[in-house]
Chain A
């Protein structure tokens, strides 16, 4: 396999730069960036790229980084930023604004534990905090997927049937700083895949208002339209997969990625890089004759409820792994997925890898054994992975 050795941060930056240049025949590329561990190297590399008809603005905060993207997008430019953890928390107000203004900003998040106390390691709690902000959210399992998902994210976000911002998630250090062989497409290929952005209603010339005051009945219509746009995601995504495959010769993964799931007695559901670990555990279990299977949730917003329900059908025992804790509740993915299984199926939640604990195949085998022994689901289990 050909390719370059790249960290996911660099893969994301290269993807953003390729997408930025692809809009040189459109209204260009505008990015506002601010450093935070572990997403810094993405913004650093982006700042050092030559982007024809593109400006990367080094702003004074994450809040302003997203604001620059909002302004750039309102002016019809392709826009991108990256952040992490408390940076996303500080940015949150404008994260909401970008979505509610229906601006197709693309952001890469390096998932990091929220502090204090300060912890730079992987945890999905930061982007899950932004669950209800109206952004598309996709979680990646390897560096190639990060680069490919960034390119897909621009095409999805900018599709007139969608027009929503998109968040591409990759875990701190597990991906952000880990080098892996990554195929980098040519500019010509990306130009063929990503048409120039033609944003309807952009703020150029016409005396229109963007973000004007609304009353309940207008807001109801806006939310309904936003929700419907989310609903069109899966149909549009299939087209994007086809187009991507036609240009690049490989197919981006489905919104829910099954692994040896069809005949599984126990199904393990997860997001992000833990999905790769689970697949390894599945192979180990299968060698021992245990029928373990896996589902990796790649698209978290919109939530792939129908796809999950179909994959859960006939599966009696399901373990859901969360690298996050919704404090006072349990894992966020478990909370959303548990209602989709067959009546009487056991859906047990496990929170593991919190604060960056290293989740290994033996942890997955242990929790698979635990769910296999249960007659009924209990309270979500917080497992220690440790360093």
Chain B
């Protein structure tokens, strides 16, 4: 590949460059694509560098030397995103650059194999924004269970549905007392972009958890992804919150906990059908989680039900 050809392939990485370019390899309806578009909108003129461990995001970039991403990007080994980002962030800081180093990792690279390096970077309060796009499955390898897969979901290696509960990743990260940890709903774009901007502009370790619908793994309609997220939020299954310094918890979206929302959420995804898990079976765990959240937020009674 000649230098001139390479030069035409390389963008400037400036704000005019879209973050996710045409020609990326994501499936139709991929929640991670939507999340990347949100991040692209949130960053405006900020210069960012992406650190991507093995994941669908790594594959979506396309073959070398092309890149579907409009910013400097390094693909890392599976468990190393937060540690590689640490090195990049120190190099940027030593040279007085205002670059935001952003990890863009799936749930496998975050909840499982990347947990040690993630925890280490959070404990050291590295100047990194870590975004976990959580599609609740090892999507890139064809849909195996991860510790983010919810109870009852069938995967290619838990054919009758996963028996265990999903890890509380936001609780784990907040317990590191990092400056900022928040969950992001793709069905609530104003809240999502506000959080992304806030996280981009803070110093120290910031963590965002994005529920990213995966039509391929969830066995759902590609067009329904955003609606599924809305149902997950409404039902209380996916709390939309932010936690400052591991102490101050704010509930950003108050669910109505509608039974109908939870039932719809389950029925619109074939991954929940083999286990025959139903709303009634999931409700106690949701209630328990919300009791904890309310206690931590200091609001025992939901804001909109106060007298």
Residues of A bordering B, CB below 8 Å = 27-30, 32, 53-55, 57-61, 63-65, 67-77, 79, 93-94, 97, 203-215, 218
Contact = CB atoms under 8 A, between A and B. Distances in A.
B47 interface: yes
| In the A-B complex, the 5 residue pairs with the closest CB atoms | A71-B87, A75-B91, A60-B120, A67-B83, A72-B87
B108 to A, nearest CB: 15
Interface stretch (B54-62, B194-202, B297-305): B54-62
A207 B83 contact: no
A64 B58 CA distance: 19
Identify which of B11, B77, B87 gathers the most chain A CB atoms within 10 Å of its CB. Answer: B87
Given A57-B86, A74-B87, 5 more contacts: A60-B120, A74-B74, A97-B76, A210-B75, A212-B61
Interface string B68-85: 011111111101101111
Interface of B: 10-13, 17, 47, 49, 51, 58-59, 61-67, 69-77, 79-80, 82-95, 97, 99, 116-117, 119-120, 123-124
A213 B25 CA distance: 12
Nearest to A27: B95
Tell me whether chain B's interface is mostly helix, strand or loop, or mixed: mixed
Nearest to A77: B91
B86 A68 contact: yes
A203 B88 CA distance: 8
Contact of B75 (A67, A72, A212): A212
B106 to A, nearest CB: 16
A53 B92 CA distance: 11
Contact of A64 (B65, B95, B116): B116
Given A63-B79, A212-B67, A207 B94 contact: no
Contacts of B124: 57-59
Given A64-B80, A209-B73, A30 B90 contact: yes
B62 A213 contact: yes
A217 B76 CA distance: 21
A64 B83 contact: yes
Given A63-B79, A209-B73, A30 B120 contact: no
B259 to A, nearest CB: 43
B62 A59 contact: no
A63 B63 contact: no
26 contacts: A30-B87, A55-B90, A59-B83, A60-B117, A64-B82, A64-B83, A64-B86, A67-B76, A67-B77, A67-B87, A68-B84, A70-B74, A71-B91, A72-B88, A74-B91, A93-B77, A203-B49, A203-B72, A203-B74, A205-B13, A206-B12, A207-B13, A207-B71, A208-B72, A209-B73, A210-B74
Contact of A209 (B65, B76, B90, B123): B65
A71 B51 contact: yes
B86 to A, nearest CB: 5
Contacts of A58: 124
B66 A72 contact: no
A70 B53 CA distance: 13
Contact of A32 (B49, B63, B72, B86): B86
B64 A77 contact: no
Contacts of B64: 209, 212-214, 218
B62 A67 contact: no
Given A70-B80, A97-B77, A208-B67, A53 B94 contact: yes
